[in-house]
Amino acid sequence: MKQRIASLVARSVEALRGTVPLPDGAKDRIQVDRTRDPAHGDYASNIALVLAKAAGMKPRDLAQRVVEGLPDCTLVEKVDIAGPGFINFTVTRDAWLDLIGQVRSLGGHYGHSEAGAGGRVMVEFVSANPTGPLHVGHGRGAAYGDSLVRVLRAAGYDARSEYYINDAGRQMDILALSVWLRYLELQGEETRFPAGGYRGDYVRDIARSLAGENGDELVRPAASLFDDLPEEADPAMDTLVARCRSLLGDAGFRTVFDHACGVMVADIREDLAEFGVAFDCWFSERSLVTGGAMEKAIRVLEANGHVYEKDGAKWFRATDFGDEKDRVVVRANGAHTYFATDLAYHFDKGERGFDRILDIFGADHHGYVDRIRASFEALGHPREKLDILLVQFAVLYRGGEKVSMSTREGEFVTLRELRGEVGNDAARFFYALRRPEQHMDFDLDLAKSQSADNPVYYIQYAHARICSVFRQLRERGMETLETAAPNYGLLGESRELELLRTLSRYPEVVASAAASLEPHQVAYYLRDLATDFHTYYNAHPFLASENDLRLARLGLIDATRQVIANGLDLLGVSAPESM
């Protein structure tokens, strides 16, 4: 509808060319927006204000010329010039009423568009190290990324989701060490536990399952493990890992490592699946090393002339691409840095034929944005193909107190705990209500309370209420929409037209949410829609009204039910038939 009005304006503006001086891009600057105030009609264009200066005319005079040149259209009932020079359009009642049939026949497809034109988009998100269970911070990234993928698909993009598994590197070595030490405890060995190890209870669980599969085969004399350790924490951990590896042998260490990694990844995967988040691809960091992709990426970088050697290490000249300093890729001791696999991963992403790549990082990783963008470009991929989005952390509050979190200390509220306490729907919706770049105060008590404070119930309730009306209809043996064709011309109450206006906004909301990568727009829209429905529900009876009017009203609320269900689906929230 918005598009159709915009094209009317465009034709009128183009017709003025020749008699009125207009800038070249005049047509592209046409903007048609929803009015906020019903007194201003349904849609408004500010084109006369925008072009007045170039045209050398007063805005209201130019608006008058545009209005005079508008082609006739059955969509528009009335056109006014208002305020400083806005052109206000009032849409005919019939045009609104036609929408009901459109929504009901399109069903789950209403709101979908071809705006994305099948463009291939890859969205990488969560990608938490499998060194522990997901916590509520990861939950935010998961909810955002998944909803974004759903919104992009609805808007006609071929969107793919991906999780990058950090299954190589020091943190995973430390997890393996931690598991092994707990395993030794279980086997009755006397040992200690280092300050830098992973202390969560889940580590003991992994140790227990490790013992279940391997018995005492991985027990080694550990008495001297802690002798003469370096004082600093990091070298001490590295020494412990090295000793662990030499005691177990490469194969034994690999057994512990793979077991720990496998358990954690399976746990994360299950956790996310239960949260309604399914990934198209789980990409292993280690595969980049073992499969040669990392070596290849470094060679490409060298071939492009962006690598130099200094102090025995290989450096990427990131400063040539806007980063603040150059970055080490291969250390003096021959080991690659974390950045080397990141480099390889983005090289691989760039080679996979996507039109656009979205990286969704936690805000604590924003220091990596410049170097990743730099490497992407240095590897020969167009800079604008990659977007890196930052999701701010959620600061938890419990009983009005900030909850401190540390993965290492095992002090964190896990996503699984949150889901168990507030339910998947409330958790998903709570996350969806925040703009990703907004700092978020996550009030656990509020989210956990099953009260109406949580807006997800308000929306789900609207859906359930409509379903209930139809249940009543069947119980009373009344004529249903399946057997009779409603005459929507009987509708016309102000609250009915208001509800229709809101229903008609839905496709615009989906398209806008996709274009700006902001699924939260859908959440806010749904609350508006639920409000309009509840208002209508309280003001007019459905079942008690006369037969033809009843059928027309049922058609309207059936369309409303459909749009609520469609919108909730984009957010990964269920649309219950009863609550």
Partner RNA sequence: GCGCCCGUAGCUCAGCCGGAUAGAGCGCUGCCCUCCGGAGGCAGAGGUCAGAGGUUCGAAUCCUCUCGGGCGCGCCA
252-291 residues in contact with RNA (CB under 7 A) are none
- Listed residue (122, 430, 401) closest to 279, CA to CA: 122
Q: How many CA atoms lie within 13 A of 345 on its CB side?
A: 25
Subset of residues 170 to 209 that bind RNA, contact rule: CB under 7 A:
170-172
Tokens read off for 162: 């991906």
Subset of residues 291 to 320 that bind RNA, contact rule: CB under 7 A:
310-313
The contacts of residue 500 (CB under 8 Å, 6+ apart) are 96, 97, 99, 100, 556
The one among 269, 331, 385, 448 contacting RNA by CB under 7 A: 331
Beta carbons of 28 and 15 less than 8 angstroms apart: no
- Tell me which DSSP letter residue 55 carries: H
At closest approach, how far in Å is the CB of 424 from RNA?
14
At closest approach, how far in Å is the CB of 544 from RNA?
5
- Residue 335 binds to RNA (criterion: CB under 7 A): yes
Q: Cα–Cα distance between 524 and 435 in angstroms, integer? A: 11
Q: What's the farthest any 2 CA atoms get from each other in the chain? A: 94
Which range in 61-69, 138-146, 182-190, 524-532 contacts RNA by CB under 7 A? 524-532
The one among 527, 548, 549, 574 contacting RNA by CB under 7 A: 527
State which residue, 106 or 469, has the beta carbon closest to RNA. 469
- Residue 82 binds to RNA (criterion: CB under 7 A): yes
- Residue 44 binds to RNA (criterion: CB under 7 A): yes
Subset of residues 431 to 460 that bind RNA, contact rule: CB under 7 A:
433-435, 437-441, 443, 450, 452-453, 455, 457-458
State which residue, 59 or 350, has the beta carbon closest to RNA. 59
Which range in 69-77, 146-154, 292-300, 386-394 contacts RNA by CB under 7 A? 386-394
State which residue, 25 or 353, has the beta carbon closest to RNA. 25
State which residue, 106 or 405, has the beta carbon closest to RNA. 405
State which residue, 86 or 202, has the beta carbon closest to RNA. 86
Which range in 47-55, 207-215, 254-262, 292-300 contacts RNA by CB under 7 A? 47-55
Size of the site for RNA (CB under 7 A): 92
- Using DSSP bridges, classify how beta strands 356-362 and 307-310 pair: parallel, antiparallel or unpaired: unpaired
Give the 3-state secondary structure of residue 414. Answer: strand
Residue keyed to tokens 């003096």: 332
What does 431-444 look like in DSSP terms, one character per residue?
HHTS-TTS-EEEEH
Residue 446, phi then psi, degrees to nearest 5: -65, -45
Beta carbons of 327 and 378 less than 8 angstroms apart: no
- Residue 407 binds to RNA (criterion: CB under 7 A): no
The one among 60, 220, 317, 534 contacting RNA by CB under 7 A: 534
At closest approach, how far in Å is the CB of 339 from RNA?
7
Tokens read off for 392: 């701010």
Beta carbons of 542 and 469 less than 8 angstroms apart: yes
State which residue, 207 or 499, has the beta carbon closest to RNA. 499
- Listed residue (460, 473, 482, 468) closest to 529, CA to CA: 460
The one among 9, 16, 30, 49 contacting RNA by CB under 7 A: 49
Beta carbons of 522 and 573 less than 8 angstroms apart: no
Residue keyed to tokens 């996550």: 442
Site string for RNA, 120-159 (x = CB under 7 A): ---------x------------------------------
Q: How many CA atoms lie within 13 A of 537 on its CB side?
A: 19
The one among 540, 548, 549, 574 contacting RNA by CB under 7 A: 540
Q: Cα–Cα distance between 511 and 2 in angstroms, integer? A: 12
- Residue 163 binds to RNA (criterion: CB under 7 A): no
State which residue, 17 or 439, has the beta carbon closest to RNA. 439
Which range in 70-78, 168-176, 258-266, 485-493 contacts RNA by CB under 7 A? 168-176
Q: Cα–Cα distance between 562 and 536 in angstroms, integer? A: 16
